[in-house]
Structure 1
């Protein structure tokens, strides 16, 4: 007769504030059995009767062990973990957390906590989660002054960005220099570059899963910072002790206060050009309520907006954009083996351009609004099987290029624009199967669909990944993933203004599709102090969208006529070396990659590199702790210059006798030239203060320490004769954004 197994389950929480730890590893090393906590910190393990040592590990926390005795009954074991800077007294403390990364089944995953991010030097003293992700192999930015992530050859619209399971459509502030995620309000960020779990869908290239903090359940606390251009404040604490908690976080830049004052002082000066106003703000909030031992509710929200404005005597220009996100979640434990999480969410993104010239004004608006519902189940079975299954549905409302044009006396009033509605749905099932001590599998299937304009598209998206431990220190991993994407970004997110227009699949626009395979090997060495990982990948992309030359992307009632469709491919090798223990920690990442697109009506059908094709991409991040109070940090990045198109010749013609001739550029293959390589060194010093209450530090940082003038874009200047009449030649000029920028930020917590 087969021996019965019994379940040990519970929540893994931080000792400070009692917040759940997402993605913590819980296992029994002697049995080679383990699991990872879900998005709410819940874990469940099935074991036969006996005495065991239960071990929990999490990045930034002490790896700890507890003795447990499994008898003829299921048990609940709550696990509390202490930050690595503190010492535990009643449990065994271990230091090897790289083993967790070696043995996780999922490959091509990067995980960050705010504890790690806050140690790195940052632009203007503001740490940023997404910018830190760009220091990982396989992840690129478009360069300074551009927004969006470019993951393994995908475009910025091919990343699914989630905040507590609600979609964030534009995750950037300040034209891409900052993300919308306030680090004080975020618990963790997970980036999936490949081998996507079946519960995620709707994008081709990556998933960025951001989880907000739940708030301190024991006492009121405040965290914040005062910097050169922005300040932030986060307050959290209990509503009802050990039952309900809250967190509220806000951030605002204030450079506009100074620019407006300068403009007032210079008012009336005919030779003075006014400085544009710019500022952004964002607000985060979350409330958690424990209904009982098996039920919890949480309500989280985000609201943020950017404002850019310019005003002259006869001209006024304004531009603003931002997100609104809300999510209501109900978490229910049916039994120690069955757990459910149901989320209703709302998300919207809108941008508006306002322009006034003398007596005329116009207003251009585009937005997307979503309402969604999803349910996820976790089921632990005997025999090493952990099932996850669920379903989702969402409703999309698109407003594209809504234009209102008016005169001051209302004698002229015009309007234009398009509205579309769509429904998206999906269901999935996956199994995380621990075969034995060496082999583990994760396989699943997602069925998705989309309806708009009377047309319904459906697709099957198989996913699979496998891990084989050659030895205790070496693991081989492989994955395959198929993804569908039903909505498309019309405007280029790499533009200086983020005029993002989202467009649905319909009878004339097919959904995008990708398949990706990846193979990797991980090696733990140096007594577990170092981890070396190497991954190779190949990704095929179909039904990619580009635009005809001279396309009118705005105020166009037939936008589809501007679309061109083609295919893409990306392949490369990612090498990663990491050390997370000791006085000196950090990582080195190197990516060698190729990214191409092929369109029948572009470049005469010949394959061409994308603008963000980057042959070499290197990042070096080091953190050194001199003593208990003083730490040094540094980050160096190098990347091959972005591909772009330049005219190789020009011809002049004169259509009217006596007038200056017109000059027409002649281009060669698309993106056949390269900007100069991009490289930059950032340095930082963190000095911990000794306040009477709480914690505080001064963070000194230098952005672009050796003043590298990296290219933002290139333009051509006409060189004319002495009479400024005839064009003699054209000279290329490079525009750069940031010189060396020092900054200081005071951070506090009490």
Structure 2
């Protein structure tokens, strides 16, 4: 008996001593610093640094996990708990050391568990918005939200997950789901991927696509450029249903709406003027834009405040892995971007700047042009943009983001001309010397910032709390003088006349909002939130007399400043039914506005549905009611920032619109897709200047309120494969207006009533290093007013007679049809050290089509029967002829 007991006792003592040693090892206090958040590398570092026997399998460990990089005087037990948190792994002590294994199931068994996670770009840790996460064997899927976070509830057991995003390698992996799990997924760019250049590859069936376009900004860089400048708004103008003036001037007009009917936001901050150079360029620096989504129909309830469209732009967060820099130089501007981690894998900073180079060409050209007219002076134009973004990961559930934007445009025009005239009066000469001097300045500034806290409240509930600030300031100053020196024998005389004017306008917006995203169940998501904003409007005019001192207010007063408070609450549900064949998005937005002791309130129901008729055919429809408490008054033809933002007041209610859409889309064979969409929109309480008024008038006394309508269809046919990506977009539409104080109260065509609009775009990929993009645009001419005849009217007590020009009915004439061809040839190459180079050559308006911006009446003198007579002729004003494009960018 003793012979058998002694070996057993020795074995027991051996295991007891081993266990005690293991426990002592786990309680050992150490200090350690890791290079990154790779669990495998961290465990290897522990094993090597402290002579630990840690047993684990690389295949079980995630590539990355969120744990502190530095530990000071902590136990090895505590360090292991941090490294393995949320990995589904645990450790236990055995004689051979510390063994890491899968977590064993407890007796409590659940039938479904939730996978929660975040999707990031491998190599930079930049989050990805709208990533597709799909459980293949359960036919369940979801998308990552605006912060790259997702939640998916699935049955217990092994499942296969596919994670995909346009332009990235698809990641497919298996997971044995035995508990609620948190995943951090990294996708890597696919250099050969060419799907989704401007229009989404979408003809995807999961979700609503009617009136919705997402932009792949990596491929956007290949589009033809203006003077080497890539521009997001230019890409939007190539979509069906989007109208603009010649060469992009005048703004963006979507489905018959006004330029002010588009909600443009950057990181939740509203932008009130997104144009540079009267609309030829925009304020968006595409080198730092992460995503952009345009909605022109089927509006979700979370968006409110405009009638026609939403452009939701998100800035990149910045590289959290390492510092990088990139630069770009073209004929119009140059830009520089710097980004990198403040604390590696925890926080990042992105800084980007862009400045114009137009004065290099404009100043000498304008000086030469003025000198030919006998005038000294020049015209100048500059703009700049500055963007910054900082983000920090406070914990696995909390992130803080700060975004900032500031941009400014400055236009100047000066002139100084002199002339001499000698006359023989009463047998003596009198000499007159004339001098005219003028100075004009126009500059405007956009400023915006946001502070956002993203928080994971639970495994299915996410929240965003955001504070925003936005401001647009416009300042116009003009000064001119006319001097006449009279030299005569009697006595010299001096006649001096001067005029000075200044125009100021601003809108300032402070806002706060909380948004919640609740994944109730697979195929059922709820969003709800509350927004509050305060606006301060300051329009004004100041004028001075010839001594520049005595103040003269127009009409006895200055346009008053106005303070307003607005709010909105929304509830939105996204649901899939009938075995996922039917997709529904329905909700309600309740908005309010307080101004001049007047309270307005509007209810805006929204409904959108998509039904899968067959494996590749979708029938889609939507109805949306939209309201708008801000109004944009335009007193020019070219969309200058003198267009005035004004609020709804006690006398002016909100603008309202109903929009109905019906569409069909189908995925064809061999990479072909087709989409057809019809729409009808009614607009009420539209605000416009009365006939003859402009921005220098007191706006409250010179407006008229009317209505409008728009209807038509948008068509797109697209081909997409690894060699060519091309589409044809055609729109047929009609839009008109009725105002009591315009056109004698009769209905008239809206200026941007393009009856036909055709856009063709293609990108040919010859190799990974060379590609060619080209586009051709055609649209019916703008509706306009052209003088029909002029006659004089004698008014009692007024001398001389007044000349009256008859334009006929409002917008009864048409400018010539607009068309233009652009192309760009792109070269891509990478140096042995990894530096990326891109070079593009191309041209805008290749055959130099003289598309008129507008017509003006010019006085000419003609000889008729030996007599010199004065006559008038219409002369078209043109903007952009043939313009070559050269662009070079580098990233290192």
Q: Report the TM-score range of the alignment, normalised by the length of the smaller protein.
A: over 0.9
Does 1:143 pair with 2:246?
Answer: yes
1:698-739, Cα deviation, whole Å (9 max, x unpaired):
110100011111111112334444399986654322221111
| Cα shift at 1:491 | 2.3
Equivalences for 1:140-289 in 2 at 5 Å? 140-144=243-247, 146-257=249-360, 259-260=362-363, 271-289=374-392
Say which SS state the counterpart of residue 260 (structure 2) adopts: helix
Aligned to 1:702: 843
Distance change in 2, residues 1:61/1:651 (3 Å): same
Distance change in 2, residues 1:302/1:580 (3 Å): farther
TM-score relative to the length of structure 1: 0.93
Distance change in 2, residues 1:81/1:331 (3 Å): same
Q: Distance in 2 between matches of 1:307 and 1:534?
A: 43
Distance change in 2, residues 1:614/1:100 (3 Å): closer
- Whether the 8 Å CA contact 1:352–1:364 is kept in 2: the answer is yes
1:454-496, Cα deviation, whole Å (9 max, x unpaired):
1110010001111111122111111111101001012247435
Distance change in 2, residues 1:183/1:656 (3 Å): same
| Cα shift at 1:169 | 0.3
Aligned to 1:78: 184
Aligned to 2:480: 357
Specify which of 381, 392, 395 is matched with residue 520 of structure 2: 381
Aligned to 2:445: 322
TM-score relative to the length of structure 2: 0.79
Does 1:64 pair with 2:171?
Answer: yes
Q: Distance in 2 between matches of 1:692 and 1:717?
A: 61
- Whether the 8 Å CA contact 2:686–2:706 is kept in 1: the answer is yes
Single out whichever of 489-498 and 433-442 deviates more from structure 2: 489-498
Q: Distance in 1 between matches of 2:863 and 2:794?
A: 21
Q: Distance in 2 between matches of 1:109 and 1:97?
A: 9
Say which SS state the counterpart of residue 205 (structure 2) adopts: helix
Distance change in 2, residues 1:273/1:476 (3 Å): farther
Say which SS state the counterpart of residue 706 (structure 2) adopts: strand
Say which SS state the counterpart of residue 416 (structure 1) adopts: coil
1:490-529, Cα deviation, whole Å (9 max, x unpaired):
22474353212111111110100011111111111225x2
Specify which of 389, 397, 400 is matched with residue 297 of structure 1: 400
- Whether the 8 Å CA contact 1:403–1:416 is kept in 2: the answer is yes
Single out whichever of 310-319 and 181-190 deviates more from structure 2: 310-319
- Whether the 8 Å CA contact 1:541–1:569 is kept in 2: the answer is yes
- Whether the 8 Å CA contact 1:25–1:100 is kept in 2: the answer is no
Aligned to 2:783: 643
Q: Distance in 2 between matches of 1:42 and 1:695?
A: 30
Aligned to 1:514: 657
Say which SS state the counterpart of residue 340 (structure 1) adopts: strand
- Whether the 8 Å CA contact 2:611–2:618 is kept in 1: the answer is yes
| Cα shift at 1:185 | 1.1
1:101-153, Cα deviation, whole Å (9 max, x unpaired):
33322421011132121100111110100110110111111222624211111
Aligned to 1:334: 457
Distance change in 2, residues 1:748/1:192 (3 Å): same
- Whether the 8 Å CA contact 2:245–2:853 is kept in 1: the answer is no
| Cα shift at 1:263 | 7.5
Distance change in 2, residues 1:268/1:740 (3 Å): closer
Specify which of 470, 473, 492 is matched with residue 347 of structure 1: 470
Q: Distance in 1 between matches of 2:726 and 2:822?
A: 14
Say which SS state the counterpart of residue 119 (structure 1) adopts: coil
Single out whichever of 421-430 and 668-677 deviates more from structure 2: 668-677
| Cα shift at 1:54 | 1.7
Aligned to 1:26: 133
Distance change in 2, residues 1:626/1:410 (3 Å): same
Q: Distance in 1 between matches of 2:163 and 2:884?
A: 40
Does 1:393 pair with 2:532?
Answer: yes
> Which entry has the higher C-alpha Rg, 1 or 2?
2
Specify which of 428, 440, 443 is matched with residue 570 of structure 2: 428
| Cα shift at 1:576 | 1.1
1:196-228, Cα deviation, whole Å (9 max, x unpaired):
111110000000000000001111111221111
Distance change in 2, residues 1:174/1:267 (3 Å): closer
Distance change in 2, residues 1:445/1:106 (3 Å): farther
Does 1:733 pair with 2:875?
Answer: yes
Single out whichever of 621-630 and 414-423 deviates more from structure 2: 414-423
Does 1:610 pair with 2:750?
Answer: yes
Q: Distance in 2 between matches of 1:441 and 1:656?
A: 68
- Whether the 8 Å CA contact 2:378–2:415 is kept in 1: the answer is no
Q: Distance in 2 between matches of 1:441 and 1:47?
A: 21
How many aligned residue pairs are there?
737
Equivalences for 1:672-687 in 2 at 5 Å? 672-687=812-827
Q: Distance in 1 between matches of 2:373 and 2:764?
A: 53
Q: Distance in 1 between matches of 2:607 and 2:365?
A: 59
Distance change in 2, residues 1:354/1:473 (3 Å): same
Say which SS state the counterpart of residue 247 (structure 2) adopts: coil
Higher helix proportion: 2
Single out whichever of 274-283 and 491-500 deviates more from structure 2: 491-500
Distance change in 2, residues 1:270/1:563 (3 Å): closer
Say which SS state the counterpart of residue 306 (structure 1) adopts: strand
Q: Distance in 2 between matches of 1:267 and 1:617?
A: 38
Specify which of 735, 746, 750 is matched with residue 888 of structure 2: 746
Say which SS state the counterpart of residue 701 (structure 2) adopts: helix
Distance change in 2, residues 1:34/1:493 (3 Å): farther
- Whether the 8 Å CA contact 2:202–2:209 is kept in 1: the answer is no
Q: Distance in 2 between matches of 1:442 and 1:592?
A: 27
Q: Distance in 2 between matches of 1:299 and 1:330?
A: 9
Distance change in 2, residues 1:255/1:647 (3 Å): closer
Distance change in 2, residues 1:255/1:382 (3 Å): closer
Equivalences for 1:347-496 in 2 at 5 Å? 347-358=470-481, 361-382=500-521, 384-403=523-542, 405=544, 410=549, 416-435=558-577, 436-492=579-635, 494-495=637-638
1:21-54, Cα deviation, whole Å (9 max, x unpaired):
1122222244332222211111111222233222
Say which SS state the counterpart of residue 23 (structure 1) adopts: coil
Q: Distance in 2 between matches of 1:19 and 1:406?
A: 58
Single out whichever of 691-700 and 399-408 deviates more from structure 2: 399-408
Single out whichever of 473-482 and 360-369 deviates more from structure 2: 360-369
Structure 2 stretches of 5 or more lacking a match?
1-108, 194-198, 417-436, 482-497
Aligned to 1:50: 157
1:409-458, Cα deviation, whole Å (9 max, x unpaired):
74557683420000010000111111122112111001000011111100
Q: Distance in 2 between matches of 1:201 and 1:40?
A: 21
- Whether the 8 Å CA contact 2:448–2:470 is kept in 1: the answer is yes
| Cα shift at 1:181 | 0.5
Q: Distance in 1 between matches of 2:291 and 2:635?
A: 29
| Cα shift at 1:629 | 1.5
- Whether the 8 Å CA contact 2:529–2:569 is kept in 1: the answer is yes
Aligned to 1:537: 679
| Cα shift at 1:188 | 1.2
| Cα shift at 1:99 | 5.5
Distance change in 2, residues 1:16/1:538 (3 Å): farther
Aligned to 1:93: none
